[in-house]
Chains A and B, each alone.
Chain A
Amino acid sequence: MYKVKVYVTLRERVLDPQGAAIKQSLEHLGYREVKEVRAGKFLELLVEPSGRDLDAIIQEVCGRVLANPVIEDYRYEIEECVAP
Chain B
Amino acid sequence: MKFAVIVFPGSNCDVDMFHAIQDALGEEAEYVRHDADNLDAFDGILLPGGFSYGDYLRSGAIARFSPVMQAVIKAAEEGKPVLGVCNGFQILLESGLLPGAMLRNAGLKFVCKTVSLQVENASTMFTSLYEEGETIRIPVAHGEGNYYCDAETLEKLKENGQIVFTYRDNPNGSIANIAGIVNEKGNVLGMMPHPERAVETLLGSQDGLKLFKSIVKNWRESHAVIA
* Chain A residues at the B interface, C-beta cutoff of 8 Å: 10, 14-15, 17-18, 21, 41, 65-66, 68, 70-71
Contact = CB atoms under 8 A, between A and B. Distances in A.
B106 A70 contact: no
9 pairs of A and B residues whose beta carbons are closest in the complex:
A70-B101, A71-B101, A17-B104, A68-B101, A17-B108, A21-B108, A17-B106, A18-B104, A68-B58
The SS class assigned to the A binding surface is mixed
B100 interface: yes
Given A17-B106, A68-B101, 12 more contacts: A17-B107, A17-B146, A18-B104, A18-B108, A65-B61, A65-B65, A66-B57, A68-B61, A70-B99, A70-B149, A71-B103, A71-B148
Q: How large is the interface on B (under 10, 10 to 19, 20 to 34, 35 or more residues)?
A: 20 to 34
Contact of B106 (A15, A41, A65): A15
Nearest to B104: A17
A68 B93 CA distance: 10
B175 to A, nearest CB: 10
B173 interface: yes
A71 B90 CA distance: 13
A15 B147 CA distance: 12
